[in-house]
Each structure stands twice: as structure tokens, then as C-alpha cells.
Structure 1
């Protein structure tokens, strides 16, 4: 079946979103992506349309730190590529909205791993018995992939 409900925080100009939307086009899914900077948001919308994938994308302009509380889950994949010092907050807010079997991914964990938010997130997620985390240091900037194996104990 594959993932069908994906959340991306930090759209930028839409590069990652295009790849996620392409995969979701194969599963009948939908990407919700949030960007705080209007010029990046508008560039992403142009890029989504140019790729022919806009029907699979709900691109939102706003502060994800506020918007995540309003989001309806569950999500199969949550991809964080924004405000690294807020990573732990995103994780704690969104974990109840992550489907069992789903993945919580964070970009730039090795290149920006010195940042407090990244360190706190990795410490927290590695301490949870219902999450399985691996870090791919070969990916540009490093990416952590944390899979939810069951609900919290």
C-alpha cells in the first residue's frame, strides 16, 4: 500500500516536496507542507505546478510552530527540515499524530547536530522503546529516520 499521508515542515522551494509528492502520486496520497517564508512558499508552488504534482500537495504558508497543533493526523511520514532548535517540540507535538509503522525523519542531523534542538531530539527519540532510530550520515547533512513500532508504553 505505501504511505499516503505525509507532513513536511520546511518546504523551502519544494525540492523534497516534489519527490515526496511523486511517491504519493503512486499511492493516491497527499503531502501537507508548511513554509514560513512567503518567497520560498511561492517558489515552491511554482515548482510543484511545473512538476505537475500540485494536486497531491497542500502547501501552506505560516509558522509551523503554531500550525502543527491544528493539523489533523494521523501521518505515515513526518519530515522535518526547518528550525532545528524546535525539533524536539515538533517531535513531542506530532508523535501522537504519527501512525504506528510511520517514520519521523529529520534532515541535517549531522551537519547541524551541534544545535541544542537536534541533540535534545536525538536523546529523547533514542530513549523511547517504541521508536527505532537510525542515522544515515551519507545523506547530505545527515538524516535521522525514526520508526514508530507501537504506541507509547
Structure 2
């Protein structure tokens, strides 16, 4: 076989690859647009109904935006509740190719969260685990580039100490119900913020909108 036919075949395959890339990207964009529409419709339908320890929309949007902006893919949520924050997190991960591990102690909330993930079209991005975060979270191997802690407030320092070493450089550890001003409902904020700010390689700011969100980046 001469060299020319071989080169022609390679050129043909290369052309197929080049021509196929835009088609694949177009399909991915169409799929993402359909998922975005489904999630938005679900959130709109449920607007104002999230109770039972769920985050307000402004905090959910912040979590989503952090993931998309920094292209995070390895996420952990401590305290699923019925899934409002997990939906925002998983929605962001659907755009980065990531996946969420979320842990919930209460069986009823865990079951409802799983139904909500399915209804929003995001179940494939979520590994929802039922059990005691005190035992499950320290045993997780990681690494993680995004963490959201929203479980028992008095255990916040323990969750942070267990997981922050497993957060990659450039990753973020976020915590709900934290306030610089000692806002009602933000129990132990001053003590917890002292832990965050005494940690080497951690840069913490607090977003006081919504329920109060401590955002700790790892240098």
C-alpha cells in the first residue's frame, strides 16, 4: 500500500473528527439547555415552599455560582435536608461535569430529597447518603474542591477539621448560618469564625445575605 492512500485516510478521519466536534458541542449545549429549563421550572414551582432547614434562594444561587465560576467538580454537602441546596449545587455540577456526595441523618428528609433530585432532573449528579455525618464525613477519602456544611451547628468545627485537609488548593469550604454580627439563628458563629481564621492557608469572608454564608478558600 502506498503512502498516499494512507495519508488520505488519515486526513479523512481528521476531517471527521473536526467536523464532529461542533456537532457534539451543539448536542451538549442543547442537553444542558433542556436541563436548565427543567431545573428552573422545578425551582419556580417550589418557590416559597422550602422549609425544614433548607437554604434561601440567594444562598443556593451563591453555591451554584461558586461551582460554575471555579469549575468545581468534587463536591460534598453535610446536611441534605430535603434537597434545596443540593439542587443548586448539583445544577452547578451539571455544567462542570461534577458530582455531589450529600449526607443526611433523617430518613424522611433523605427520602424527600431523593424525590426532589429526581423531579429536578439532577439525580444522576447526586450520591445521596443516609446516616450520621459524625461518622460518615471523617471517613470520606476526598479529595474535594467544594464543600457545603449545613448540619448541626455545634459540630461545625469538627466537620471543618475533618474535611478541610482533604480540600484541594483553590477549593472552597462553605458554611451556612454564620454571621459576623451574631445574627439570630447563627449559633456559635464567633467561635467558629475564630477556628476558620486561625487555620493556616484559609481565607474566609462572610456573605450576610440570606442565612449567612461563610466562604473559606484554600490557598
Counterparts of 1:127 and 1:69, CA distance in 2: 21
TM-score (norm 2): 0.64
SS at 2:138 equivalent: coil
Q: Are 1:76 and 2:145 an aligned pair?
A: yes
What is the CA-CA distance between 1:70 and the residue it aligns to?
1.7
Whether the 8 Å CA contact 1:91–1:121 is kept in 2: the answer is no
What is the CA-CA distance between 1:142 and the residue it aligns to?
0.6
- Which sections of structure 1, spanning at least 5 residues, go unmatched? none
Higher share in helix: 2
Task: For CA contacts below 8 A with separation 6 or more, give which structure has more relative contact order.
Answer: 1
What is the CA-CA distance between 1:124 and the residue it aligns to?
1.4
Within 5 Å, give how 1:1-150 maps onto structure 2: 2-110=71-179, 111=183, 112-113=185-186, 115-116=187-188, 118-138=189-209, 140-149=210-219
What is the CA-CA distance between 1:105 and the residue it aligns to?
0.4
Instruction: Select the structure of larger CA radius of gyration.
Output: 2
**After TM superposition, which residue ranges in structure 1, 4 or more long, deviate above 6 angstroms?**
none
Whether the 8 Å CA contact 2:114–2:123 is kept in 1: the answer is yes
CA deviation profile, 1:125-144 (whole Å, cap 9, x unmatched): 11234111100112x12100
SS at 2:190 equivalent: helix
Query: Which is worse superposed, 38-47 or 103-112?
Result: 103-112
TM-score (norm 1): 0.91
How many residues are aligned here?
Answer: 146
Counterparts of 2:90 and 2:203, CA distance in 1: 25
SS at 2:139 equivalent: coil
Counterparts of 2:115 and 2:149, CA distance in 1: 21
Higher share in strand: 1
SS at 1:68 equivalent: helix
